[in-house]
């Protein structure tokens, strides 16, 4: 039986928080794993979670907001210093995310890496970027050693393109929204998912303008009521809950959307299993 774990490496937002790294979610099967987004401190959280950096099959980027990709160079460098001999595969929608990934190591001279990795790893870390044209329909973007991923456009305007992903491994499906208002793209990705990882904002605590391009917790509840994931994980929480009462407010709002299944509010290093 395949057991796939979702490990939330970063549950935060662009606002620095001592306990919440930037957006990053690992989907793990044994020693192998795929990373969706690579925000602030994601590399450190991966090490804290006991993940083998050399065993990362790919990094998938949802969009070019800084809190979703700012740690990509650090991740590539750390993976290389512990001995990875193959380039880091990065999957990103064509556009600014792709451009950032292609250039994120360019500012480092070769001397910046002298003597930091085994000779077998080569003189400097390397990336290979697989860019795809994002569209409203779900399209396959990764197929490697039993891992597959598909993507679709989501609604995070004016940040375009922004996408979500569904990762599949051994019949287990994990849908990850990125940042988005609830929209057709994320509905398609969430259909049939065992675990749905979705951003959520507490409606009464944020501005109406913020909800135009991000998802209120009630709308996430409506999405989950429609798509029936076994587990709904709320992340990228605005505002970040600081008490049990804050957490209850999120849960209550999701329930108002009609979802009656299991809900988990993410924190860094949360582990959730599906089988």
- Is the pLDDT assigned to residue 275 strictly greater than 90? no
- What per-residue confidence (pLDDT) applies to 40? 98
107-119 pLDDT, tens digit each: 999 999 999 999 9
Contact present, 55 and 49 (Cβ < 8 Å): no
* pLDDT above 90 (res 247): yes
Instruction: Please give the Cα distance from 194 to 168 (Å, whole number).
Output: 10
Please give the pLDDT value at position 153: 98
State yes or no: pLDDT of 123 exceeds 80: yes
- Quote the tokens at residue 164: 């979500």
Tens digits of residue pLDDT in 127-171: 999 999 999 999 999 999 999 999 999 999 999 999 999 999 999
Residue 145 CB partners (closer than 8 Å, separation 6+): 32, 57
Global confidence as pTM:
0.97
Segments making up each domain of the chain, as ranges: 4-133+140-274
Task: State residue 101's pLDDT score.
Answer: 98
Other beta carbons within 10 angstroms of residue 48's beta carbon come to 13
Q: Fold for domain 4-133+140-274?
A: Metallo-beta-lactamase; Chain A (3.60.15)
For residues 51-65, average pLDDT? 98
Quickly state the pLDDT bin for 19 (edges 50, 70, 90): very high
The runs of H, that is alpha helices, within the chain are 42-48, 66-69, 72-81, 96-103, 184-190, 217-227, 244-256
| Residue pLDDT, tens place only, 182-236 | 999 999 999 999 999 999 999 999 999 999 999 999 999 999 999 999 999 999 9
Residue 177 host element (H or E) = none
């Amino acid at each position: 039986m395949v057991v796939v774990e979702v490990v939330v490496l970063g549950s935060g937002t662009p606002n620095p928080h001592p306990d919440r790294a930037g957006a990053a979610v690992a989907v793990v099967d044994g020693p192998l794993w795929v990373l969706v987004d690579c925000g602030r401190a994601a590399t450190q959280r991966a090490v804290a979670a006991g993940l083998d950096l050399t065993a990362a099959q790919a990094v998938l980027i949802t969009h070019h907001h800084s809190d979703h990709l700012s740690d990509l160079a650090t991740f590539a460098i750390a993976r290389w210093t512990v001995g990875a001999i193959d380039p880091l595969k990065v999957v990103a929608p064509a556009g600014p995310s792709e451009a950032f990934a292609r250039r994120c190591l360019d500012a480092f001279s070769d001397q910046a890496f002298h003597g930091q990795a085994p000779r077998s790893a080569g003189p400097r870390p390397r990336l290979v970027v697989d860019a795809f044209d994002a569209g409203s329909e779900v399209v396959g973007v990764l197929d490697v050693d039993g891992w597959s991923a598909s993507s679709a456009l989501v609604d995070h305007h004016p940040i375009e393109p922004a996408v979500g992903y569904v990762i599949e491994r051994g019949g287990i499906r994990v849908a990850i929204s990125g940042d988005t208002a609830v929209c057709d793209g994320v509905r398609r990705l969430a259909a049939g998912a065992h675990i749905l990882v979705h951003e959520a904002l507490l409606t009464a605590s944020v501005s109406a303008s913020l909800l135009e391009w991000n998802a209120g917790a009630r709308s996430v509840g409506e999405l989950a009521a429609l798509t029936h994931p076994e587990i709904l994980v709320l992340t990228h929480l605005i505002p970040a809950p600081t008490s049990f009462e804050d957490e209850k407010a999120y849960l209550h709002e999701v329930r108002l959307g009609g979802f009656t299944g299991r809900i988990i509010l993410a924190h860094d290093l949360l582990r959730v299993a599906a089988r």
